[in-house]
Structure 1
Amino acid sequence: MVLDLMLLVVGFDVTRYNSIILVVKLRCWMLDLMLLGIMMLDLMFLGIMMLDLMLLGIMMLDLMFLGIMMLDLMLLGIMMLDLMLLGIMVLDLMLLGIMVLDLMLLGIMVLDLMLLGIMVLDLMLLGVGFDVTRYNGINLMDYINISENDAQAHPTSNNHNKTLALVMDETVRQIVLPDNIAELALKLISNTSKISFLATVKQEIGNSGSIIALSAGMLRFLDIESRGGRDEIRFHYTHRTQIQVETFPYRLGDNTWHKLAVILNDNQLSLYIDCNKIYERTIEPVDRTFKAGKLSLFIGQRNRHHAFFRGYLKDIRIVGNDHGHLLQCKKENSGCPSIAQYEYLEDKLNSLYTEYNNMSTKLTNAEKHIKDLQNCNCLNTCYVNGTLYKEGDIWKKEKCSICNCKNSSVMCNRVECPDIKCLKPFSQKGQCCPSCLMSCFYSGQYYSHGENFQPRVCVKCICDNGETICLKQNPEEICPKLNCTSNDTIHVEGECCPICKGTDFCGEGNDCHVNAVCVNLLTKYACQCNEGYQGDGRHCGAC
């Protein structure tokens, strides 16, 4: 109708020529023009879609730049994953070529999801202003219950850096942490070869006391001690169950605040004072386990009765790495994120959340597909170091490790050895589990293999696999030279070496209580509680 009106306007008489065919053709031309216009609109919409894709690409580039730093840190791990995926692909090509593509897609999706999760975590941490470097291991100050441990050791503020400190005086105290924290500290020492012990201290002049100590009664496992009388810092540890000590000349007890860091890296021991490395030594390998009793973790004392620290302690930590001293010297954060930064991070998080949901759906579908593939008997094999094992095969990987192939996965377990009761178990070459050697019977008493005993004066014996070997000692060879005449020497009953009259036994070291006095006797020393206290001298309490 529109076409007829247009023809009438221009003076064209359709009925005059009775040309119905021509009219139809004209109408078709008009329809073609309309379709051409619609195609032009489609091209415009296509251009808009291309612009949207370009914007999406720009957003993806932003995400890539955010992940570059994390990708650098994960490069080694990704290379190892790539090698594992390459091995899986080669095996799958030998077994069933079509499944290679499925496993590759699954691996790529898993890696993408890992990277996406890491980027989301980084953005979230950055958005809330969280400093990742503030993971400080075990902060022992958080677990000290002052009311349960000792009323005299209480927190107080100080002007060092506006934190809390423990005040340590001469009062007999018991600052021992809960058993689960002691177990956590021992687990941290056992599971890592790199460990840092940190503390900020202000010690009274002349005081000698422990700062951090792991002990079971009188048995020391690990002890960091500052001896003010000798201006020394001592690190007590056990090597093959024997107590060892490393001494560092340094005056820590000067009534001034110091940052102390003792760092153990395998058998390398380093001492940092106020963020400066003072000493570094190679020591005997430190025992990482303790089986002689139940360990307790003490602060400011060696155990319940000895080596009481006097002064102030704070920021006491155990960190599972060899750069814990950086926590004492780190710079403060500079400012908070702006509103624009928060809005930008919010937009990025929304985009990443959408991408995460898409990847999660794809991964769920891929896991279902892989589960179906695992039910196929053709994949129930294991490929290890160039050897192909069938389902159910069992083999010995190392001296004390047994592996088996189950559901195309290698499961390895350590051989469990039975408990043995002897002083020094013996491990034969090629055998995983140790065994007990023969004991010795001497003068009506049994001795374990490796046990030393002294049946008579100047005679030492050792049990060696059922054979008793004794050696007579020559006092002139084994005894130290005395700075006194023969008339001034004393032979102590049961001892091989003589001593001089008037020997200062107290000065050579004693374990008298802080409220007791050490008294030199003829052949030894004795501890006597001060007036107003009672006890055996090693343990003194107020009357």
Structure 2
Amino acid sequence: MQEVRITSGPHGYLSSCPHLDSTCPTCGQFFLLQDTVRQLTQHLQELSNRLLAAEQRIGRVEECDCQKSCQVNGSVHADGATWQIGCDICSCVHGEVKCHPVECPELSCKHPVNKSGDCCQSCLKHCLFYGQFYDHGEQVTIKKCVECQCDDGSMKCVRTDPETNCPRLTCPPEQQFSVPDHCCKFCPGPNTFPELFTDSISATPFTPIGLTPVFQNHKVEKKNN
């Protein structure tokens, strides 16, 4: 019976078999080498990620010369940022603040309004009155001493009292005359009469006091403020 001896170490088998080929690794050596390669690959990936992050940071630092922030009233705005101050649109362009007014849309109504807090005018609701549409703010006289005005979709009418709302006339009562669709009476005269009715009626001018005025082609449809 041969003597059995156990030899430890990575190449312990060479003590018993000195003529064997020692260039081929054992299983233990192969597993050790495989684990070492895996660790090196992991370290290489970590280094690649850190290098990429460093390159990105360096790129941002190199761009600092052209991307300058803007400071407005204690607030810092990045280059290219846009914000609104009141009715102005402002932007940061390479460290310089540039502003321009808010662009308002074109309106089709006759009487646009300025709402509190809005930068642009807006149109209010129309009024449908006796089959006809009226813009907000538009006035119409429906009959003598009654005048109506469109107010955001609602037609509001006011009756004028000739005794309290008409101006006091200086001519005698027999010289005072009325005009169709006008609540107040007037005194004849060369100066006041044409100025009062040039836009609304066609009248035959006259100068002598006491003559009854004659109106032709009278037409009062509506009034625009």
Distance change in 2, residues 1:461/1:386 (3 Å)? same
Rg (Cα) greater in structure: 2
Query: Runs of 4+ in structure 1 displaced over 4 angstroms?
Result: 483-488, 509-512
The secondary structure found in structure 2 opposite 1:436 is coil
Are 2:64 and 1:377 aligned?
yes
The secondary structure found in structure 2 opposite 1:392 is coil
Cα deviation, residue 390, structure 1: 1.3
Q: How does 1:217-236 map to 2 (within 5 A)?
A: none
Give the letter for the 2:182 counterpart: E
Q: How does 1:42-441 map to 2 (within 5 A)?
A: 376-378=63-65, 380-398=68-86, 400-441=87-128
What is the aligned counterpart of 2:212 among 512, 522, 527?
Answer: 522
Partner of 1:223: none
Partner of 2:180: 493
Cα deviation, residue 472, structure 1: 0.9
Give the letter for the 1:507 counterpart: N
Mapped contact 1:519–1:525 kept (Cα < 8 A): no
Cα deviation, residue 463, structure 1: 0.7
What is the aligned counterpart of 2:133 among 442, 446, 452?
Answer: 446
Which structure has the highest helix share of the two? 1
Separation in 2 of the partners of 1:397 and 1:484?
A: 60
Query: Which one scores higher on RCO, CA 8 angstroms, separation ≥ 6?
Result: 1
Are 2:141 and 1:457 aligned?
no
The secondary structure found in structure 1 opposite 2:192 is coil
Give the letter for the 1:495 counterpart: H
Separation in 2 of the partners of 1:525 and 1:492?
A: 9
Mapped contact 1:460–1:470 kept (Cα < 8 A): yes
Separation in 2 of the partners of 1:524 and 1:385?
A: 70
Partner of 2:158: 471
Distance change in 2, residues 1:499/1:403 (3 Å)? closer
Mapped contact 2:126–2:153 kept (Cα < 8 A): yes
Mapped contact 1:452–1:461 kept (Cα < 8 A): yes
Deviates more, 1:408-417 or 1:477-486: 477-486
TM-score (norm 1): 0.24
1:497-529 deviation line (CA, Å, top 9, x unaligned): 2235xx22x1337589xxxxx633633799xxx
Separation in 2 of the partners of 1:510 and 1:492?
A: 13
Distance change in 2, residues 1:499/1:419 (3 Å)? same
Mapped contact 2:206–2:213 kept (Cα < 8 A): no
Give the letter for the 1:443 counterpart: Y
Mapped contact 1:438–1:449 kept (Cα < 8 A): yes
Separation in 2 of the partners of 1:484 and 1:380?
A: 78
Mapped contact 1:492–1:523 kept (Cα < 8 A): no
Distance change in 2, residues 1:481/1:509 (3 Å)? closer
Separation in 2 of the partners of 1:395 and 1:484?
A: 65
RMSD: 2.9
Give the letter for the 1:496 counterpart: C
Q: How does 1:500-539 map to 2 (within 5 A)?
A: 500=187, 503-504=188-189, 506-508=190-192, 510=194, 519-520=206-207, 522-523=212-213
Give the letter for the 1:389 counterpart: H
Mapped contact 1:395–1:403 kept (Cα < 8 A): yes
Give the letter for the 2:95 counterpart: S
Partner of 2:18: none
TM-score (norm 2): 0.55
Mapped contact 2:138–2:149 kept (Cα < 8 A): yes
Separation in 1 of the partners of 2:180 and 2:73?
A: 66
Structure 1: tracts of 5 or more residues without a match: 1-374, 513-517, 527-543
Which structure has the highest strand share of the two? 1
Partner of 1:227: none
Separation in 2 of the partners of 1:507 and 1:434?
A: 39
Distance change in 2, residues 1:524/1:507 (3 Å)? farther
Distance change in 2, residues 1:473/1:387 (3 Å)? same
Of all paired residues, the percent bearing the same amino acid is: 34
Distance change in 2, residues 1:484/1:413 (3 Å)? closer
Separation in 2 of the partners of 1:381 and 1:488?
A: 79
Separation in 2 of the partners of 1:427 and 1:448?
A: 15
Mapped contact 2:141–2:147 kept (Cα < 8 A): yes
Separation in 2 of the partners of 1:383 and 1:484?
A: 71
Partner of 1:40: none
Cα deviation, residue 482, structure 1: 3.4
1:129-187 deviation line (CA, Å, top 9, x unaligned): xxxxxxxxxxxxxxxxxxxxxxxxxxxxxxxxxxxxxxxxxxxxxxxxxxxxxxxxxxx
